[in-house]
Structure 1
């Protein structure tokens, strides 16, 4: 098998913006989209946040903690609220791993290994900077913990701090397990949906295929385990009930897709979206994981 090509920074930056755009062009139950605002936010704020955070996340040579703090600071200045903290926390180490690879060939496996190396080197300074970012974003309940709370100076490295939170927060778990959920669950769902869409209709437009893939990844995460954001806001029992519904909806949606259609055309998912937003239930962590997965997928595909 020939070596994988390099993933240039220009491709990575474009892939990040593509993934963030798909986040709001794809209607996902409980999440903000162009067609369905919610939770006091509009799709335009998410697009502005992606633009605002781009340079910070892909700042060549910057440490992970600095990327996180600068991205959140610029986002806050642009939109005045927390729209992308989870995305920033996930993408910063992945971008740093690509940064280190430079012009060397980067396969999916090599990128995953490089990200693990980046995570292993995260230190107290990275934790200090990331804690400042989390406090600035001010997400309800995130960072409140009996050990290494973001409201006190850290005494351990960022990865170790994330490990302490990994059992209750899915984004922290990616720091602990080397992004296993993204590279395994996420990419598998992405590829399955992309292949099914194009096999059913080879002429399908890329945008529609990508929206189908984004929704499939999101539902795979939401149906895989309780969404951390819902747990923090509403408690574990309600989050578990949403997970069960997501599994049912995901299975139904996959079975009824004899021909590709835009995700927006699914009436049952639209009704569930309305219900979740009426109850102020936002599966935000599942969306963050989906965006990071699409970022990886678009980078890998675009480098071929």
Structure 2
């Protein structure tokens, strides 16, 4: 007889119940709102015709779908989007749900989270494709546009989810996450959070540190969709020049709010950076609840 030794089985991380996953998801969404994130909606200032209350409500009503025990990724995303529209009537969390749904499904299963996440990303079926495409059409995110292949708005058969994500990956970092094992979370988000904690920062400044790592590290896909890739890269470079030298330990609210107002007046919303910030907080909380390290 072969198999893992009893000690190995005892050491394997155990899956989390749906109630815990839902609570951690909701907490990640709310923690992101507490942080000053230039250009995005947060507790220090509204923006883009949305307020914090919209996102608080969205987190609350989407949590049960996001954490539905045994549900496939597509069902979680679609259910979350539909609940959000019923509550607030607009798209506030499609990107968050797309990033957090695979993490939630992986976290409810026994075994190392990174291994379970890989299995989830490799195990999509036709129902996932139909549900995710339906959710995207319902949310109708800004700047979606059209694609030569696997266009979400096109009539006809729904393509495999990973094929559609691979097609969009060069222009959308959330789609790319589905094809590269959520690399940005592990290589940008979690290291930024760990570094902020090592410096002695406390929330919400640890969350601001995550957001700034994405904002200054990679062009924001939401800005790229609405304003073009060149503008997205220009914002990244500008943010690096304006913000990278700030000491968050000094709580530089005035400097961050000044840049926040500048971005909002120009209609620039680094929404993908905010989505990845939520997902980073959620992943960190899931790992901690399962007593794992990344």
TM-score, normalised with respect to structure 2: 0.90
- Alignment map for 1:52-201 (pairs within 5 Å): 52-99=61-108, 101=109, 104=110, 106=111, 110-142=112-144, 144-152=146-154, 153-197=156-200
2:210 aligned with 1:217 = yes
8 Å contact from structure 2 (residues 23, 63) kept in 1: no
Counterpart residue number, 1:291: 278
Q: 1:44 to 1:90 in 2, by over 3 A?
A: same
Counterpart residue number, 1:32: 41
RMSD: 1.8
Q: Distance in 2 between matches of 1:58 and 1:122?
A: 17
8 Å contact from structure 2 (residues 193, 210) kept in 1: yes
Question: What is the deviation of 1:94?
Answer: 1.0
Q: Distance in 2 between matches of 1:211 and 1:193?
A: 11
Q: Distance in 2 between matches of 1:301 and 1:98?
A: 11
Q: Distance in 2 between matches of 1:121 and 1:144?
A: 26
Question: What is the deviation of 1:266?
Answer: 2.7
Q: Distance in 2 between matches of 1:176 and 1:144?
A: 20
Counterpart residue number, 1:50: 59
* 138-147 vs 86-95, which moves further: 138-147
Q: Distance in 2 between matches of 1:4 and 1:193?
A: 29
8 Å contact from structure 2 (residues 74, 128) kept in 1: yes
SS at the partner of 2:269? coil
Question: What is the deviation of 1:269?
Answer: 1.2
Q: For structure 1, which runs of at least 5 residues remain unmatched after alignment? A: 199-208
The number of residue pairs the alignment matches comes to 281
Per-residue CA shift, 1:267-288, capped at 9, x if unaligned? 2211000001111110000000
